[in-house]
């Protein structure tokens, strides 16, 4: 799950990004509206966590730009303007959810995950294939009833592969979905994590690799 956090308060942005990353999400940061718009042009995000009072390009204008785009991410406004009238105006602009500051962090994580599930192209909450059952909300992953005991990145990688199944995902696509924009694209990060995940999935092998094409969960 790829998230864009747009927040001009740098310490708060770092806290939000760290918390979402710890919850297994790939998180990019933007500290003003213009840089956020540039990132949105380059990357397909599942959810944008958006402050309203932004420099450069106001959050309201950015929200309208997102709403008008063809394949848009879901928008969660996270702002100090939390009065009922503010919430109504934010939702009227096209935001999909609204959370005032200060906020309870577990609630933010649940709301972000709920929005990702509401995307038009989202799959059901529990992902199932080849004896695997993965629940992104409860953070559980089992195969034939056996707990897979996955790390945060292994869990996110398996989730991405299950959402794409039976299709393939290239290493580049996995980097985009599971790692953030700071990931080194010239390392073997994906290959190493795939290897660890393959070992934890066990036998019979179901995570296949096709050179020049990518990886997939074989049904």
Query: Does 127-217 match 2-118 at the fold level?
Result: no
What's the confidence (pLDDT) of residue 83? Answer: 66
Tokens of 11: 């310490």
pLDDT tens figures, 55-104: 989 999 999 888 877 778 999 998 876 666 777 777 788 889 999 888 89
Mean pLDDT of the region 45-55: 92
In this predicted structure, the answer to whether residue 218 has a pLDDT above a threshold of 90 is: no
Please determine, for residue 183, whether its predicted confidence score (pLDDT) is greater than 80. no
| pTM score of the predicted model | 0.67
The domain spans of the chain are 2-118, 127-217
Architecture of the domain defined by 127-217: Orthogonal Bundle (1.10)
Q: What is the mean pLDDT of the chain?
A: 88
Which tops the pLDDT comparison, 7 or 179? 7
Q: H or E element: which one contains 37? A: helix 33-42
Integer CA distances (angstroms), 160 to 10, 87, 88, in order? 29, 32, 34
Q: Which CATH class is domain 2-118?
A: alpha beta
What pLDDT is attached to residue 177? 85
Within 10 Å of residue 141's Cβ, how many Cβ atoms?
Answer: 24
């Amino acid at each position: 799950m790829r998230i864009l956090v747009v927040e001009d308060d740098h310490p708060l942005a770092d806290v939000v990004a760290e918390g979402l990353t710890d919850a297994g999400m790939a998180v990019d940061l933007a500290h003003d509206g213009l840089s956020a718009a540039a990132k949105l042009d380059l990357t397909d995000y599942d959810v944008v966590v958006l402050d309203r009072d932004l420099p450069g390009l106001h959050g309201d204008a950015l929200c309208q730009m997102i709403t008008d785009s063809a394949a848009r991410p879901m928008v969660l406004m996270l702002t100090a303007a939390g009065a009922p009238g503010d919430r109504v105006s934010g939702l009227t602009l096209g935001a999909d959810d609204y959370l005032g500051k200060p906020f309870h962090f577990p609630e933010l994580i649940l709301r972000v995950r709920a929005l990702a599930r509401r995307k038009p192209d989202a799959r059901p909450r529990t992902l199932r294939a080849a004896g695997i059952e993965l629940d992104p909300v409860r953070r559980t992953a089992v195969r034939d009833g056996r707990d897979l005991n996955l790390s945060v990145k292994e869990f996110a990688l398996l989730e991405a592969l299950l959402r794409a199944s039976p299709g393939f995902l290239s290493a580049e696509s996995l980097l985009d979905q599971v790692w953030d924009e700071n990931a080194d694209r010239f390392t073997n990060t994906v290959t190493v994590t795939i290897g660890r995940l393959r070992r934890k999935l066990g036998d019979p092998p179901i995570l296949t690799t096709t050179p020049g094409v990518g990886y997939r969960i074989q049904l």
